[in-house]
């Protein structure tokens, strides 16, 4: 939970805005991009063939490797999508 101090429009009245965030998991520098793919993305891919949507949101400090990790996981996902794609007319 994040507690954010704020001031109302009147410029005088103070209050705290409470925001709660839920997330599936966190990963450390010890997990690989393949681990991320295996545990968070792989099982969602078949839903794409039934008008589903899959979104991967990566949050972290600048320079922490988000782009590298998501790019690597995306390459694995694209390869698996070609394997999962229905064949035929």
Query: Under the phi-then-psi rule, with left for phi > 0, alpha for psi from -120 to 50, and beta for the rest, what region is 83?
Result: alpha
Q: Which residues, including other chains, have CB under 8 Å from residue 50's CB and lie 6 or more apart?
A: none
- pTM, whole model, 2 decimals? 0.65
Q: What is the DSSP letter of 47?
A: G
Condensed to tens digits (0 to 9), the pLDDT of residues 15-68 reads: 999 999 887 788 888 999 999 899 989 999 999 998 999 888 888 889 988 899
pLDDT for res 38:
93
Phi, psi (degrees; rounded to nearest 5) at 17: -95, 115
| Banded model confidence at residue 88, pLDDT cuts 50, 70, 90 | low
């Amino acid at each position: 939970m994040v507690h954010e101090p704020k001031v109302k429009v009147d410029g005088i009245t103070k209050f705290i805005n409470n925001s709660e965030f839920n997330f599936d998991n966190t990963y450390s520098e010890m997990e690989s991009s393949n681990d991320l793919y295996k545990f968070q993305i792989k099982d969602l891919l078949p839903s794409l063939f039934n008008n589903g949507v899959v979104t991967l949101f990566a949050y972290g400090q600048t320079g922490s490797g988000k782009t590298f990790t998501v790019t690597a996981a995306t390459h694995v996902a694209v390869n698996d999508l070609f394997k999962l794609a229905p064949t035929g007319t």
